[in-house]
A and B are shown apart, each in its own frame.
Chain A
Amino acid sequence: MNTGQIISGIGHTGLIILALVGGAFQSEPLPFEVTEVTAISEEEFAALLAREQSPEAMANVDTPEPPEEGEAPELSSEADIPLDLSQPEVAESVPPDQVPDLSEIVPPVEAEVSDEVPELVAPSEDFAVLAPETSLRPRPREAPRVAPEPVAQPEPDVRIDDIVQPETTPEEAPEVAEEETEATSPEEATTETVTEADEPSSAPTRSLRPRTRPTRTAQPAEETEQDPAQTATDSTAVDDALNEALAETAEPAQPAGPPLTSGEKDALRVAVQRCWNVGSLSTQALETVVVLGVSMNEDGRPNVSSIRLLSATGEAPDQAYETARRAIIRCGANGFNLPIEKFEHWREIEISFNPERMRIR
């Protein structure tokens, strides 16, 4: 066989394989339309034909009468408005500007220019403002075109709202009880910026102590047989432990009740520091820390004669003490704002005056 026959044989063989594998001989059914038909009677068919007949044309249609002839409007031959062809008045010619007299002009005084190069203060931060990103306007929710239920037309002054509120009628004004307001104090002045990280947390550091349980009526204890020796040992141990505990707790007489809150302490601190004037102190006195003790009266006033110097570190304790004492007396003259129910907690106060932040340098 020659080469041409071989190529022809290979080509036809491949074509046959492709036709078999590619599905050239597979045929899908042609699409067809399905129509539902209904068997009807002759009467029904006749009725259908009668409805499909075109309507008859009306022959006796009224023809509109033409309007009566009226008087024709008179035609005027006069021109509407004569044209004003006169020439506009020529305005008087404006005299040319006079040449200013430059001789009287005083040359401007040269401003004093300092050779000093102004200091350029670099901005502390970049103030560039970015345009706010605009968001696509939300597509409004489609509202029902027709109200699901008929609604009576409201009064003209009634505000349209989703919730129907009945009109309230004014009643007699009840007695307004004065709301108890807590005492406030002016904001504490400060000499430095306190960052948020440095600010003390306003979260409570401790919770109130739970109330004690209501006392129960004593129930007769069930008598159980116990070993007398064991009972004696337990009671002795309990007594010893209680006595020991009571003896230890009795020494540092702790005031009863909840202590002053941090806010109440801060209020006292602010009240004292408002009168602590260190403006007349020497640099040595400004390096002196003094701790003063003071006994308080129940009305919040300090007992002046009780003010005493507890400790001092520095070279001018006398002046530092006198300045601190003056602060306590001056701002305590009208009584510090302290809760009377916690008097036992502030009956004795120790105040440390530390002028470290108030030093000259």
Chain B
Amino acid sequence: MINRIMIFLAVLMIWSPPLSAQTGPLRIEITEGVIEPMPYAVPDLVPANSAAGELASNIARVIASDLSGTGLFREIPANAHISRITSFQSPVQFSDWKAINAQALITGSVSVDGAGKLVVQFRLYDVFAGQELGQGLQLVGTTEGWRRIAHKVADQVYSRITGEGGYFDSRVVFVAETGPKDKRAKRLAIMDYDGANVTYLTDSSAIVLAPRFSPTGDKVLYTSYETGFPRIYELDVASVGRRVLESQEGTMSFAPRFSPDGRQVVFSLSRGGNTDLYVMDVSSGSSRRLTNAPSIETAPSYSPDGSQIVFESDRSGTPQLYIMAASGGEPRRISFGKGRYGTPVWSPRGDLIAFTKQSKGRFHIGVMRIDGSEEQLLTASFLDEGPSWSPNGRVIMFTRETQGAQGRASLYSVDITGRNLRQVPTGTGASDPAWSPLQN
């Protein structure tokens, strides 16, 4: 019997693995990393013919400006490059790009034919993996539209590396301001997102306010004092034709915004000293009241799915943010911080709401969850207001006005992390930016 027990124990000792033994491969978990711009290289594209020589360099510069402007990427300057890309089809010497720590490499070629047709090809490489990220892509356009092609290349690169859509091939409509503060001329203007190609859509004969793009980007709603009272107009961007969208006698209408499907417009209407929210069917022109309160309800903005509306109301005594169903109903307050909240805008992703906050004599642009939690102030200055989301929901553009009689309004952009605050070049003073969706 004792022998059997001894044998059993011996077998048990042989069979059971030691507690400290490693079974299978070595396993480790990484939970900490670094957050820094990703170094990349974009040498001049290879011109396929002499007509493409200048464009090859210009397109590369626009791509680099787009990527580096996000704050997520850092370009390695051309004078640090070891290799020269002389042929788009030649294999890449990854060791040369590794040596300068370029983690991504963009190569391309440009050709222009006699009819002004522009063809751009590009490839994106993961240098350390020694392979392409995605497949090569060819874009065709006109020489006049070379900037848009460059933006599209940058959008592709951005999307492939970050995993989210780009926003470079988009436009911004804004109010261009000229003249002194007490006699300022305002007119609508449109430009590329980076401030290039500014075009004026209206003259400065009447004050214009708060332009908003349609979901397709071909129309703009705005408020004009052309008749002496604020009225909502709809403007066709291509033809610059316009029409009055809402005109009821004895009322003032303002703060319009399209629904995500573009069929409805929600706006504020002031009648008899009381301001409430209304919704209008664009095709029929019929309006319906959404709120009925003695307080001021304004600055409505749809959720991306069109089911809810966030707006500003002072029904609690101070301007705060509320959410209600798009069909109306009892609103729910979401802002409870100290200060005044206004101009809420729902993120294209649907997860955040950007807003203007006035607190302790300063203005802020901030974001919060749609339930009002995790409020985060991104900026602070004498006057920041009017946020507008980039098409991918990553960047916010807003108005910043400086103090004093010579104060001037300018456009700024900031990442939703609060980093990468930049002024958008507009030439003149600018306010009330509205970011378009990505162009087709």
Contact = CB atoms under 8 A, between A and B. Distances in A.
B28 A268 contact: yes
B31 interface: yes
Interface stretch (A27-35, A214-222, A279-287): A279-287
In this complex, the member of B20, B32, B394 whose beta carbon has the largest number of chain A beta carbons within 10 angstroms is B32
A245 B31 contact: no
B73 interface: yes
Nearest to B11: A241
Given A245-B14, A326-B103, A349-B25, A281 B162 contact: yes
B4 A352 contact: no
Interface residues of A, number: 75
Interface in A250-308: 252, 254-255, 258-260, 265, 268-269, 272-285, 293, 304
Contacts of A252: 23-24
B130 A280 contact: no
B314 interface: no
Contacts of B36: 277, 279
Contacts of B128: 326, 329-330, 333
Interface stretch (A85-93, A145-153, A173-181, A315-323): A315-323
A189 B19 CA distance: 31
B249 interface: no
A206 interface: yes
Interface in B373-395: 374, 376, 394
B163 A353 contact: no
Contacts of A260: 22, 26
B30 to A, nearest CB: 5
Given A322-B133, A326-B103, A330-B128, A345 B22 contact: yes
Interface string B8-24: 10010011011111111
Interface string B353-378: 00000001110000000000010100
B35 interface: yes
B98 to A, nearest CB: 8
Interface in B5-62: 7-8, 11, 14-15, 17-38
By size class, the interface of chain B is: 35 or more
A327 B4 CA distance: 55
Interface stretch (A16-24, A41-49, A113-121, A124-132): A113-121
Interface-centre pick from A272, A283, A304, A345 (highest chain B CB count, 10 A): A283
A249 B17 contact: yes
Contacts of A277: 33-36, 38, 103
A356 B22 CA distance: 27
Contact of B163 (A254, A273, A281, A354): A281
B417 interface: yes
Contacts of A361: 374, 376
Contacts of A322: 126, 129, 133, 161
Interface of A: 114-117, 188-191, 205-206, 209, 234, 237-238, 241-242, 244-246, 248-249, 252, 254-255, 258-260, 265, 268-269, 272-285, 293, 304, 315-316, 318-320, 322, 324-327, 329-330, 333, 345-358, 360-361
